[in-house]
Structure 1
Amino acid sequence: MITPSPRPWVRAGAMIVALAATLSGCGGSTPPTATLSPSDTQALYIRENRASGIPHRFGDTDPHDWGQVSPARYPVHGLDAARYQGMIDWHAARGAGIRFGYLKATEGGDHIDPAFAQNAAGARAAGVPVGAYHFYYFCRPASEQAAWFIANVPKRRGDLPPILDMEWNHLSPTCRIRPPAEQVRANIREFSRIVERHYGTAPVIYTTPEFYARNDLGSLRGSEFWLRSVTAHPSERYLDERWSFWQYTGTGLVPGVRGPVDLNAFAGSEANWQAWLAARSQG
């Protein structure tokens, strides 16, 4: 869930200006660029980045040809974000079909995402179920990281269960170690045990294909997974693994969100989603 920065959105400005000018010059209904509101500019950009296989009100700056098994086959979609997306207009996102939001809250044992509190409050106000995720840091004990997450993410009735984000971060300037697989799995169990005891619901484990395989996460019986797979259905990347969430792109576009954002699908039907919320939301 290393969320992309909004810079591609900024770089697209020249394209939007040119397109708007062309449409205006051709007698189209688009107003001159100088009068385009931010929401109009965003809507234009999303229209120019429509992608097959995902819900029609979203876009994708780097789409994949999904073929027969596409994300659009799933009825419930959501996003995950961090400070890079700034403040999200959750009412606009909900109107476009966003049904849930996960936000980065903490990393390691001393980092807080500065956008978490305000974006979480905005999601709740808009009626979008919201949850927090912790980005794991391999140079700090699991117990300290769990305590840091608990200290900074209030327990709130109705919020989604926590997410433990487990992936390699080769860009870290302070910690690039890759512990043995047995230690990684022990870290997951310890963090999960502490967090579940506090929130009354176990965290979902987010991971990537390479991390999953390298650390044999399939042996974590009873764990619930959020799987990243941006070029194939999860069944092709994680053989025989069950999942609740599928992150299908990191370059999605959604009304109300500044710049590219991760998009995700829930595994089941609308009825399955409601049942999952009832069973897994914080009590």
Structure 2
Amino acid sequence: MKKKNTRTAYSRKSKKKRTVFSAKIFGYFIVGFLIVAVLSVAYHYRSGLANYLGFKSHYNSHTDVFSEARNLRVLEKNEGKIVGLDVSEYQGKIRWSYVDTLEKKYPLHYVFIRATVGNDRVDHQFKKNWLGAKENKMIRGAYHYYRPNENSLEQAKLFIKTVKLRKGDLPPVLDIEKLPKEQSIERLKVGLRRWLNAVELHYGVRPVIYTGEKYYDDFLKEEFSDYLFWIANYNFYREKIQDNWLFWQFTEKATVPGIDYSVDVNIYNGDLQQLHFITVE
């Protein structure tokens, strides 16, 4: 009969205990790190959290406490810049007479309204929003959601047919977010140029381009440097608008009186007088 090696068995048990102990220590470390991270974020946005928890009266179930706290932080950091919205049919039926301020402190001076999508669709709420914003004495602008795989001139034609810009309106906006599936990036850029040129020729004003920051850096920054950009970036670490951005869409999760769903909020890189300067004459 083979004799059992008690030393080896003890060694295995000890090793197993050390492994379990190490795993527990690592687990405690991860939990501790997460707690510190949450507390750090909470401290960073402490003024916004206090406002949210103490005075919030129009809470929207589509937003969350940290989004609202960050929004307030960004607004505080960009004091003096003009604040506005962008809306579409996704915001439902807007009660425009109630749309006045953000957090009862920051006046909403302008709004971009989605007008058209691709070469065949008009936003279901465009007409009502276009008239409602004007009646509410907001500076209004219209944007087109560009579909990369559809004819650019047909898309421009639909936008021109739908949107009648008046004196005091903001320049037209081309919203490009997707990459093409049926053509190259170079062909996409040709199409974008065609849309931009057609729209500028019709309205007599150079359009603004809306896109995400990464899309801007990767595909548009160099070849479209002769255009002004409206950039979307929701990252919590960015708290101030960059010098070369005309508009900054800093959140898609804000609550505004008169709107039942979450809404995008933007900062214009200037004051109200400068905003009037870029409107249609």
Question: Normalised by the size of structure 2, how large is the TM-score?
Answer: 0.69
1:233 aligns with 2:238: yes
Aligned to 2:188: 184
Q: Residue 81 of structure 2: which of 63, 75, 86 is its match?
A: 75
Aligned to 1:89: 95
Map 1:204-223 onto structure 2 (within 5 A): 204-223=208-227
Query: How far apart, CA to CA, are the structure 2 residues paired with 1:235 and 1:215?
Result: 23
Map 1:1-283 onto structure 2 (within 5 A): 43-45=57-59, 60=67, 64=70, 72-96=78-102, 97-168=107-178, 177=181, 179-231=183-235, 232-233=237-238, 242-268=244-270, 270=271, 273-278=272-277, 280-283=278-281
* Change over 3 Å in CA distance of 1:234–1:198 after alignment to 2: farther
* Change over 3 Å in CA distance of 1:43–1:228 after alignment to 2: same
* C-alpha displacement of 1:68: 8.3
Aligned to 1:27: none
User: Identity, % of aligned pairs?
Assistant: 30
Deviations 1:190-223 (A, max 9, x none): 1111111111211110001232233143331220
Aligned length: 221
Q: Which consecutive residues of structure 2, in runs of 5 or more, have no partner in the other structure?
A: 1-55
Q: Which consecutive residues of structure 1, in runs of 5 or more, have no partner in the other structure?
A: 1-41, 53-59, 170-175
Structure 1 or 2, whichever has the larger Rg, is 2
Query: How far apart, CA to CA, are the structure 1 residues paired with 2:213 and 2:186?
Result: 17
Counterpart residue type for residue 173 of structure 2: I
Counterpart residue type for residue 94 of structure 2: I
Deviations 1:38-86 (A, max 9, x none): xxxx934169x7968xxxxxxx45x548978965434310110110112
Question: Normalised by the size of structure 1, how large is the TM-score?
Answer: 0.69
* Structure with more of its chain in helix, by fraction: 2
Deviations 1:125-177 (A, max 9, x none): 110011111000111121111111001111322211111001017xxxxxx61
* C-alpha displacement of 1:234: 8.2
* Change over 3 Å in CA distance of 1:72–1:256 after alignment to 2: farther
Query: How far apart, CA to CA, are the structure 1 residues paired with 2:92 and 2:147?
Result: 23
For the aligned residue pairs, the C-alpha RMSD in angstroms reads 3.0
What's the secondary structure of 1:43's corresponding residue? coil
Query: How far apart, CA to CA, are the structure 2 residues paired with 1:182 and 1:206?
Result: 18
Aligned to 2:7: none
Q: Is the 8 A contact 1:185 1:220 kept in 2?
A: no
